[in-house]
Structure 1
Amino acid sequence: MGDKTSAHPGAAGRAPTADQPSDIRNVVLVGHSGSGKTTLVEALALTAGAVNRAGRVEDGATVSDYDDIEHRQQRSVQLSLVPVEWGGIKINLLDTPGYADFVGELRAGLRAADAALFVVSASDGVDGATRMVWDECAAVGMPRAIVVTHLEAARADYEQMTSVCGQMLGDDDPDAVLPLYLPLHGPQGPDGHAPVAGLMGLLSQRVFDYSSGERKDVEPDPEQLAQIQDARNRLIEGIIAESEDEGLMDRYLGGEEIDLKTLIEDLERAVARGTFHPVLAAAPAVNGSRQGLGTVEVLELITGGFPTPLEHENPAVTTPQGKSRPPVTCDPEGPLVAEVVKTSSDPYVGRVSLVRVFSGTLRPDETVHVSGHGLEDRGHEDHDVDERIGAVSSPFGKQQRQLSRAIAGDLACVAKLSRAETGDTLSSKDDPLLMEPWVMPDPLLPLAIQAHSKPDEDKLSQGLARLVAEDPTMRLEQNQDTHQVVLWCLGEAHKDVALERLRSRYGVQVDVVPHKVSLRETFGEQVAARGRHVKQSGGHGQYAICEIEVEPLPPGSGIEFVDKVVGGAVPRQFIPSVEKGVRAQAARGVAAGHPLVDVRITLVDGKAHSVDSSDAAFQTAGALALREAAADAKIHLLEPVAELTVMVPDEYVGPVMSDLSSRRGRVVGTEQAGGGRTLVRAEVPEIEIGRYAVDLRSISHGTGRFSRSYTRHEPMPPQLSVKIREQAEKGT
């Protein structure tokens, strides 16, 4: 691993293929925005021969040909797959966005992968969000390695960064995160900075010189050997500590020289088990070179140390009806079970689904069963249908190269699945199965929109449906109280991408409008009123008079209607008419246009006419009576209150609690959550937390997360209530 003879690269222009799962490695690249993930993928593709020195394959595609939005925003916004080949092994490199708003794409990448490369900038270090993802991987035992980039930066310090990684990512054991190589610095430049020109292998005690643009294996000089020795001893001790051979440590401490073959084999097993996490260094090729620094070592780590799909436990499966089924294994001859990990739209071929095949073999033009994923609350309907797939292909940037099949353990793109969405399961139509879904982040930033024009209004529904079909982290809401169309997003950048895709991809121009919360109204005191609806305009007139009493009820009581009419003042057949009119007016509101709740309305008296009274007349009289009551009473506006549970590192608890208080929030409790984190529970008016998804990220430097749930409506402060009623009167 890294110290072995270099494997033969693949060929540019040819889609890598694998005949068996043991010849596949699925690797997700994780790191904060700007850490160099995409640059590393391009460097690995160049070294592996997937592209030429101009960064292109034979058909003109480039590894960087992704979404047009990514080019405009200068950052990755979606999961992308770059397959390469090294030493006869197909490597599926999954490049994920580093920005927190696109954590859904990251989670999809983690689902599709069997191991993770954490990309850390030598000049920026490890941020809190990267640590959170590291912990997620640790929880499921995913093998991880670290690649340090940006070694050319003036303040880059590889040795210090490996120490930081050990402290922050060592899972309480810094010796489980150790470098396999030390940087070899070239001559100092005029600015005093000595660029990294090669690597010194700690296990092999060899120097790998990249200064010529090609990796050269050379003998170290005495000074270099001295540099290697201390780090080598610590590395060997770290490897032996993870060895399955319990006697190996005693032999080593007894002075025995452990042979290189044994060390490498133990290292590879420890990496594959997820108990040891090697640190490597990498940099892109420069001046037309073919090999970037450290890229050969990274490729050898992936092929030699990362597990095959055969070693990865598959997610649980059931029937679409929920009946349990035995686990599926990574067997190309087994039952077909594949999962859509990403959905995108191509202007020429339509919807394209990136799938991970967990069992069986997926072939072009076969009919599969599509089972839904249970995200109806986000606007994603469940699916339980048969569909005929189109071509099966291997992506490279925007290009698709045809495949004859995709076996268990592999990743491929499938065309023409018009119903399948991200998270759906593809299985045999004769034996439908449903795979346990991965955890989707909850979108908590509301975006209220409306069509810009009549033509946009005609296209809006279809455009929104296609948008949420691609992105399961987005929730579409048609709010019945506020009559707004609301897209719930993960953050500002996520929101911007959604609007841009609506405009450029689906041809829908929308306007963003202020998001409204679902307010309510109630009476603050008991009051009596009379509704009189008497009109005579020739022929049958309209005659209805009713007298009511309105009194407030405890929260959550709703609308209660009571009939206390005596003596037939209001004929029995018109009592339901009064109730219908009262309830209709309550739904429309009596002060600021919000539904009335938590009152008892008692009909106590009234008058009718033998000819001119009617159902419609008494409905109108009931509504008038309620409006008259409201005019003479104190009306409270009720605002929704949410319970927030906020998880943050301990050092941010104070700022978070102070911020919640400034939002009229009430902290109801805190508790230790382990790992230096605290859970804060608070009740906060929903009108105050519209942008909390953005603000919490700023307060906690990207390390905090929260959930929210509706608890109740409660009276709004008088000054705020007056402001909202004035806005309602102005029609704003």
Structure 2
Amino acid sequence: MGEDRKGGQTGGRREGPRCIAIIGPFASGKTTLLEAILARTGAIHRQGTISDGNTVGDGAPEARDHSMSVEVNVAETDYLGDTYTFLDCPGSVEFLSEADGVLAGVDMAIVVAEADEKKVPALQVLLKKLEDHGIPRVLFLNKIDKTTMRVRDALELLQPASSVPMVLRQIPIWKDGIAIGFIDLALERAFVYREHAESLVIDMPDDEQVREVEARFEMLEKLADHDDVLMEALLEDIAPGKERVFGDLVDELRQGIICPVFIGSAEHGNGIQRLMKAIRHEAPDIEITRQRIGLDANADTTIQVLKTLNTLHAGKLSVARVLTGSVGDSDILHRHDGSESKVSGLFKLMGQQATKRDRAGVGETVGLGKLDKVQTGETLGGSAPAEQLYTLDPPPPVLALAVAPKERRDEVKLSSALAKIAEEDRGLVVSHTQDTAETIVEGQGEMHLRVALERLAGKYGLEVEKQPAIVPYRETIRGSTTVRGRHKKQSGGHGQFGDAVLEIRPLERGAGFAFDDRITGGVVPKQYIPAVGEGVKEALHHGPLGFPVVDVGVTLTDGSYHSVDSSDQAFRMAAILGMREGLPQCNPVLLEPIYQVSIFCPNDATAKVNAIVSSRRGQILGFDARDGWTGWDEVKAMMPEAEIGELIVELRSATAGVASYTKRFDHMAELSGKTAEEICSRFGRSQAA
């Protein structure tokens, strides 16, 4: 940056509404921080609490029941003449996909954290997501009133979670082991906390001046890594002007090359005012955000959809940010495929409340009513389709359940409700398997699926029965045989007669099924040969072990017919009878699906992960450093699908809740012995088609 930097020029107040994500590990105090901000800025009269269930955020019944955020909470407020929309994102890894759509349109993020070693891995996961999106961020070190750790030690603890330097902006003033206030290192001023009121400026305590000088110099050193002029001033022991310091803080925050750290207590409303003032003067605005995402400021109306909600009374609501232009009620918006959607209602959002308004301008974040075809992550255009700014890939699911309505008449209703829930929550995948006739709901963990089912019951009045998804076992044969299938029935009038000699043999793994014939002399007329093939295929639906049979070849070699009594049906039955007799003679064996699994975990948990994989009949292929992740490994293994079912529960338990994995089908493998016997006994008949 060097000589051409003009410190302070970028530090002035920016114009226009800001959109800010609040993100952080589970139970770090994000929703409480949002509540404190709303109280400090006058958007609400009194700060609510999670325990009392009266916060603006976490208004959904599921969030209140579990005392945790399960979806994005939206709230708008004004502060010193500027408008801010805060998007409070869930902290649990299981609900992290909620943040993906949000990060497509925010100016910056406030990362809420605490000095807790157990939460550092989760903090790294969240910061990595922000880094990958290029989102500028500040860290709010919460619960300063409860910490017993020096703030510099806390920063040393948290720094490995960030790929850029964490720059301490404030240090606490301690009295009898309690933080009673703070010193702002940029302003060089001291403040004393007041309960749910703005901090009071005081004279710098004499016994704090040495700490302040030392901490300020450390802050300046980190800023100087990207400013040669500041570095030269420090080397020559020249005190830099505040204008230069603030200019560096602003520039380096907006470029995402530092993460400034503020301290406070959201519960008591401490440190909120200084945080808001820093955001007001230093956070990027919509102009800078457009530059970051590569959007021309002169482009036609461009709107980014951040979140989808399906409300019982107002229908579908799309939370969206106006990046250029404006949008009003009844406006026509264009999707990327050229189709049109009409806005039916425009709303200001405050938690569960939506207040109607007429129009929204550049930078504003609003709810757009009944854009039925529009999905989270879409970029909408005004007079023409807009270029899509982001591609949001849903996270791979890690846990599955089979669900069915308790009342059979609710099957159609269940399908519709699941579709709406999955539309709101990108972390859910709903599918229907033909082999087992199951409706499968896949998600990001135990709590994630539990909340989804609670929404079905609470929002749509649907009670479901749930069970683990059926593993698609198969069976095959090791040996060969030749059998005769003969179907003869006489019941007055025309009878039934079919006679087929079948040669049954195993095929290579993965070959599937093959049928042919070697009929000569017309012993089985050509018109009946396809019926024999159909009978053979039908018999393979349910083999001697109780599962569908694969990798089998069958040849029709001989047979006989009756000129009057033979028919397609008779030869189909003859083939079925022949296969039922012949397959048990061919040494049938059970097959189970094997998946290639990649497990991602902090490297201090790799040994535990290897042990978990081995205990689940997994074959470890090896492990290596996870690409792009400092301090993480990727463990690769082959695992039976039956052992993957609740794998994520053990993995999360061993990794402070942050492990994840991906899987892909690799092959079917033979399974014998006691395990195979138990599977055949428990599941064989139920899996037969």
TM-score (ref. length: structure 1): 0.87
Amino acid at match of 1:50: A
In structure 2, distance between residues paired with 1:449 and 1:278:
46
Q: 1:251 aligns to what?
A: 233
Q: Quick check: 1:449–1:485 contact (8 Å CA) kept in 2?
A: yes
Query: SS state of the match for residue 721, structure 1?
Result: helix
In structure 2, distance between residues paired with 1:301 and 1:665:
51
Query: SS state of the match for residue 137, structure 1?
Result: helix
Q: Cα offset for 1:251?
A: 2.4
Q: 1:54 to 1:513 in 2, by over 3 A?
A: closer
Q: 1:637 aligns to what?
A: 590
In structure 1, distance between residues paired with 2:171 and 2:161:
19
Range moving further from structure 2, 618-627 or 336-345 = 336-345
Query: SS state of the match for residue 558, structure 2?
Result: strand
Q: 1:614 aligns to what?
A: 567
Q: 1:574 aligns to what?
A: 528
Q: 1:149 aligns to what?
A: 142
- Is 1:348 matched up with 2:303? no
In structure 1, distance between residues paired with 2:390 and 2:686:
48
In structure 1, distance between residues paired with 2:292 and 2:440:
33
- Is 1:308 matched up with 2:275? no
Range moving further from structure 2, 660-669 or 306-315 = 306-315
1:116 is aligned, of 105, 109, 132, to 109
Q: 1:636 to 1:337 in 2, by over 3 A?
A: farther
Q: Quick check: 1:150–1:156 contact (8 Å CA) kept in 2?
A: no
In structure 2, distance between residues paired with 1:716 and 1:259:
74
Q: 1:222 to 1:436 in 2, by over 3 A?
A: closer
In structure 2, distance between residues paired with 1:646 and 1:133:
18
Q: Quick check: 2:34–2:57 contact (8 Å CA) kept in 1?
A: no
1:501 is aligned, of 441, 444, 455, to 455
Q: 1:699 to 1:123 in 2, by over 3 A?
A: closer
Q: Quick check: 2:332–2:341 contact (8 Å CA) kept in 1?
A: yes
Q: Cα offset for 1:429?
A: 5.8
Deviations 1:612-634 (A, max 9, x none): 00011111111111111123231
- Is 1:276 matched up with 2:258? yes
Q: Quick check: 1:131–1:169 contact (8 Å CA) kept in 2?
A: yes
1:199 is aligned, of 182, 193, 217, to 182
Q: 1:257 to 1:727 in 2, by over 3 A?
A: closer
Q: 1:556 to 1:424 in 2, by over 3 A?
A: same
Q: Quick check: 1:21–1:408 contact (8 Å CA) kept in 2?
A: no
In structure 2, distance between residues paired with 1:486 and 1:730:
20
Deviations 1:388-417 (A, max 9, x none): 111111211211123332334332111122
2:295 is aligned, of 307, 328, 333, to 328
In structure 1, distance between residues paired with 2:202 and 2:171:
15
Q: 1:646 aligns to what?
A: 599
Unpaired runs of at least 5, structure 1:
5-19, 189-193, 287-291, 317-326, 373-383
In structure 1, distance between residues paired with 2:123 and 2:311:
31
Deviations 1:3-44 (A, max 9, x none): x9xxxxxxxxxxxxxxx9942322212211111111111111
Q: Percent identity?
A: 28
1:344-493 to 2 correspondences below 5 Å: 344-371=309-336, 385-428=339-382, 430-431=384-385, 433-493=387-447
In structure 2, distance between residues paired with 1:26 and 1:268:
17
In structure 2, distance between residues paired with 1:558 and 1:719:
26
Q: Cα offset for 1:526?
A: 0.6
Range moving further from structure 2, 210-219 or 537-546 = 210-219
In structure 2, distance between residues paired with 1:393 and 1:696:
42
Q: Cα offset for 1:484?
A: 0.8
- Is 1:47 matched up with 2:47? no
Amino acid at match of 2:259: H
Q: 2:4 aligns to what?
A: none
Q: Cα offset for 1:63?
A: 2.0
- Is 1:511 matched up with 2:465? yes
Q: Cα offset for 1:328?
A: 3.4
In structure 1, distance between residues paired with 2:385 and 2:602:
46
Query: SS state of the match for residue 112, structure 1?
Result: coil
Query: SS state of the match for residue 210, structure 1?
Result: strand
Query: SS state of the match for residue 439, structure 1?
Result: coil
Amino acid at match of 1:275: I
Q: Cα offset for 1:124?
A: 5.6
Q: Cα offset for 1:129?
A: 1.9
In structure 1, distance between residues paired with 2:174 and 2:684:
72
**Two-structure CA RMSD over aligned residues (Å):** 2.5
Q: Cα offset for 1:229?
A: 1.4
Q: Cα offset for 1:486?
A: 0.3
Q: Cα offset for 1:126?
A: 4.2
Deviations 1:270-324 (A, max 9, x none): 11111121111121364xxxxx2111111122122221122225798xxxxxxxx
Range moving further from structure 2, 654-663 or 149-158 = 149-158
Query: SS state of the match for residue 657, structure 1?
Result: helix
Q: Quick check: 2:32–2:267 contact (8 Å CA) kept in 1?
A: no
Q: 1:315 to 1:233 in 2, by over 3 A?
A: closer
Q: 1:298 aligns to what?
A: 275
1:696-711 to 2 correspondences below 5 Å: 696-711=651-666
Unpaired runs of at least 5, structure 2:
1-7
- Is 1:528 matched up with 2:452? no
Query: SS state of the match for residue 586, structure 2?
Result: coil
Query: SS state of the match for residue 504, structure 1?
Result: helix
Q: Cα offset for 1:356?
A: 2.4
Q: Cα offset for 1:65?
A: 6.0
Q: Cα offset for 1:55?
A: 5.2
Q: 1:379 aligns to what?
A: none
Q: 2:198 aligns to what?
A: 214
Amino acid at match of 2:33: L
- Is 1:265 matched up with 2:247? yes
In structure 1, distance between residues paired with 2:24 and 2:538:
55
- Is 1:183 matched up with 2:148? no
